[in-house]
Amino acid sequence: MLIGIDASRANKPRKTGVEWYSYHLIEEFKKIDRNNHYFLYTNKPLTNELARCPSNFEEQMLRWPLPRLWTLGRLSLEMKFGRRTPDVLFVPAHTIPFFNPKRVVVTVHDIGFEHFSSLYPWADKLYHRFSIQFIKRFADKIITVSNFSKRDLVETYKIPAEKIAVVYNGYDESFYKITNYGLRITDYKYILFIGRLEEKKNVARLVEAFGIFKRKHQADKHKLVLIGRPGFGFECVQKIIDEFGLQNVVIMLGWIEEKELSNYLNQADLFVFPSLFEGFGIPILQAMACGCPVICSNTTSLPEISGEAALMFDPQKVENIASRMEQVLLNPEVSESLREKGLRQVQNFSWRKCAEQTLEVIQDIQMGTE
């Protein structure tokens, strides 16, 4: 069987969730599948590990003059007029070409734009809604990353449940693990957040909760470290920092290389994930794998993914977030319990397992069993 994969996102130099998902699946397919042949469709030459292909993987570089719409435009043309089209095309993120081969499988990670529409430009919302309706009609199978996201797709878009397969994400076990460093990467203790600094991630309330915690425990030496690029609503974060006088204790590092994230997670005393909406929540797994205690929102997919290995809070209530911070940071036995539970919980997830189950969906589609 010839399997085509949209590798354009996996090939981006600066990756976040969807890009890493695409990248890790391709790399795992290389390890586990020697029977099928693969075309990796890309808008630019593949780089680094992606470019190291075994004999059953081929790069298919398709040039496109526009900065956007490569999947809808250039990949569509290849599916329609290419000399050899795949038996199944797999698109790892939210959209499929206008013209498709015999079978197409697509991953829809979440539909947060439907629940927080004010946070998205109108053109993006229009594009996303069109994409999901097009997928509903023309995709042979939809993969999503949690049971929560599956229910959301069924309820919001009336997609038949049998058309959707749930395949959990994984995490990079080579990076995210407990390590022992002789030197600390900072000279202070800290609480950590990783993600875009935006309204949907609820960063403003996190900073406010940290301010409440610091006012109550003035002798506490922890700082709050935020790793991620600014996004929609970032000005509210800065406003609260100023309001609480947190300029010296809230550290914003911006985007950093993934290999550095493990260092920060290993030395953090607490990882806080207050997001308002998540289809999955990979940073929770990364923190748990590094032995970092986790507290997170009790909404959307997060209870499903964290199980009993995280303390939950209402993300709309800053006092609740502050109370959970206090519960972990002031009680070593709670911190150690969360650490141990997290290390057990994270064993349920891996990119290899994700790739095996995704490949099973693709092969079932080709054999007509789905």
Tell me: the pLDDT tens digits for 202-249? 999 999 999 999 999 999 999 999 999 998 888 999 999 999 999 999
Kindly indicate the confidence band of residue 6, based on its pLDDT and cuts at 50, 70 and 90.
Answer: very high
Both 338 and 361 in a single domain? no
Give yes or no: residues 248 and 145 share one domain: no
The residues, ordered by sequence, that sit 6+ positions from 154 with a Cβ below 8 Å of its Cβ are 160, 161, 164
| Contact yes or no for 75/97 (Cβ under 8 A) | yes
Q: How many domains does the chain have?
A: 2
Please state the rounded mean pLDDT for residues 269-287.
96
- Distance, CA of 370 to CA of 101 (rounded, Å): 17
pLDDT value of residue 367? 76
| pLDDT tens, residue by residue, 136-193 | 999 999 999 999 999 999 999 999 999 999 999 999 999 999 987 666 788 899 999 9
User: 366 pLDDT exceeds 80?
Assistant: no
What pLDDT score does 181 carry?
64
The pLDDT tens digits for 69-87 are 899 999 999 999 999 999 9
Q: 45-61, pLDDT tens digit by residue?
A: 999 999 999 999 999 99
Flag whether pLDDT at 194 surpasses 70: yes
Q: Give yes or no for residue 251 having a pLDDT over 60.
A: yes
Residue 183 lies in a domain: no
pTM: 0.93
Tokens of 108: 């829809």
Average pLDDT, the chain: 94
Statement to judge: residues 114 and 157 lie in one domain: yes
Is the same domain home to 312 and 216?
Answer: yes
Between strands 294-297 and 270-273, the pairing is parallel
Are residues 115 and 203 located together in one domain of the fold? no
Residue with tokens 């090939």: 11
**Distance between CA 55 and CA 331 in Å, rounded?**
54
Lowest average pLDDT, out of 18-27, 81-90, 255-264, goes to: 255-264
> Over 60: is that where the pLDDT of 128 sits?
yes
Q: Say whether pLDDT at 275 is over 90.
A: yes
The per-residue pLDDT for 369 is 45
| CA distances in angstroms from 132 to 83, 98, 154, listed in the order given | 29, 13, 12
181 in a domain, yes or no? no
Distance CA 259, CA 96 (A): 31
Residue type, 263: N
Q: What pLDDT, on a 0 to 100 scale, did the predictor assign at position 182? A: 60
* 280 and 305 part of one domain: yes
Residue-wise burial string across 187-201, b where 16 or more C-beta atoms lie within 10 A, e elsewhere:
eeebbbbbbbbbbbb
pLDDT number for residue 74: 95
Write down the pLDDT at residue 150.
98
pLDDT bracket for residue 364 (50, 70, 90): very high
Q: What is the mean pLDDT of residues 278-285?
A: 96
pLDDT at 60: 96
- Are 55 and 194 members of one domain? no
Domain of residue 235, CATH code: 3.40.50.2000
Q: Are residues 134 and 149 in the same domain?
A: yes
Quote the pLDDT of residue 116: 85
Same-domain check for residues 257 and 130: no
7 and 149 fall within a common domain: yes
**Residue 370 pLDDT > 50:** no
119 vs 197, higher pLDDT: 197
**What's the pLDDT at 30?**
98
Same domain, 125 and 56: yes
pLDDT of residue 138: 94
Q: What percent of the chain has pLDDT over 70?
A: 98
Q: Which residues constitute the domain of residue 150?
A: 2-170+350-367
200, 332: one domain = yes
Please state, as a whole number, how many other Cβ atoms lie within 10 Å of the Cβ of residue 259. Answer: 10
Enter the DSSP assignment of 300. Answer: T
Q: What is the pLDDT of residue 15?
A: 85
